[in-house]
């Protein structure tokens, strides 16, 4: 009897850890579920990722946009995915260690396009399509990042949600902006996706940090969605699910019945 009770308590605690906020699908921005989302804008060829041109092309074609926001040294919000400029600009410098003025000196590849700032990206989209805004972890400056991003977004006349791999950022929204739709990003590094090691990655993979963020949606790498926690959460709690990053039209069609939203790249759905 005591063994059975102990098993019950362990199971209850486990479900407590992985549970999202109770689904509030009806409170999502109107029309959100009628869009597929271009990963870092509609980029490719001569159009760089997370550029104003990529955002303009996505908006013109009616695709929602997923973009990345991180904090500069002087507290501005830059739209850029990687922590450093190595891959996109050929410079071994970190966004978090640069001022906005310094960042302006670099262009994205050979295009001559500057790294945009968050307010510029919002001005370019101008509410035409919904946005999924990923906040990149800022460590000790997480609160500053979350607060500045929210202050910018609540002035924006368009539909948006926020997400992050860092549950502490989403916890800030849970405490300070509970009306905002927030999402937990995750993947299982054992099954594919970007490389990742350590306890933190596995806790995210198994959704064990959901107790901090209590997300409205789970954005999961669809190639790695075969672990127990993800399957249980999908079956028991039925959260809104977002698939990333879909890179094939056939796969996109196959995922329609499994995910509510898709973030795509390299093709047009």
Distance (Å) of CA 150 to CA 18, 19, 77, 85: 25, 24, 11, 25
Collect all residues with Cβ–Cβ distance below 8 Å to 244 and sequence separation of at least 6.
39, 66, 185, 219, 220, 221, 222, 262, 263
Q: Token digits for 188?
A: 């299982």
DSSP 34: G
Rounded Cα distance, 269 and 263, in Å: 10
> DSSP assignment of 84-107, as one string?
EEHHHHSEEEEGGGS-HHHHTT-B
Residue with tokens 């990923």: 134
Q: 35, 43, 81, 126: which is the annotated catalytic residue?
A: 81
Closest C-alpha among 110, 104, 47 to residue 79:
104
- Residue 196 in contact with residue 178, Cβ under 8 Å? no
Rounded Cα distance, 104 and 117, in Å: 10
Q: 39, 43, 80, 222: which is the annotated catalytic residue?
A: 39
Closest C-alpha among 250, 177, 243, 184 to residue 211:
184
* C-alpha angle 180-27-141 in degrees, rounded to nearest 5: 10
Quick check: is 222 catalytic? Answer: no
Quick check: is 126 catalytic? Answer: no
Residues with catalytic roles: 39, 81
């Amino acid at each position: 009897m005591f063994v059975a009770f102990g098993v019950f308590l362990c199971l209850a605690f486990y479900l407590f850890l992985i549970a999202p906020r109770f689904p509030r699908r009806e409170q999502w921005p109107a029309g959100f579920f009628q869009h597929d989302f271009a990963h870092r804008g509609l980029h490719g060829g001569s159009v760089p990722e997370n550029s104003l041109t990529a955002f303009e092309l996505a908006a013109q074609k009616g695709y929602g946009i997923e973009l990345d926001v991180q904090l500069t040294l002087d507290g501005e919000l830059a739209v850029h995915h990687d922590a450093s400029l190595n891959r996109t600009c050929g410079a071994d410098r970190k966004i978090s260690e640069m001022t906005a003025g310094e960042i302006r000196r670099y262009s994205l590849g050979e295009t001559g396009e500057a790294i945009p700032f968050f307010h510029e990206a919002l001005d370019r989209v101008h509410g035409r399509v919904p946005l999924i805004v990923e906040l990149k972890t800022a460590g000790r400056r997480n609160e500053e990042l979350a607060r500045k991003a929210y202050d910018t977004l609540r002035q924006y006349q368009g539909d948006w949600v926020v997400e992050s791999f860092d549950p502490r950022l989403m916890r800030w929204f849970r405490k300070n902006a509970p009306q905002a739709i927030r999402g937990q990003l995750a993947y299982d590094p054992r099954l594919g996706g970007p490389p990742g090691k350590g306890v933190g990655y596995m806790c995210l993979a198994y959704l064990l940090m959901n107790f901090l963020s209590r997300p409205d949606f789970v954005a999961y790498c669809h190639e790695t969605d075969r672990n127990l926690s993800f399957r249980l959460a999908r079956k028991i709690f039925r959260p809104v699910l977002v698939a990333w990053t879909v890179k094939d039209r056939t796969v996109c069609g196959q995922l329609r019945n499994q995910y509510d939203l898709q973030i795509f790249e390299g093709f047009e759905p």
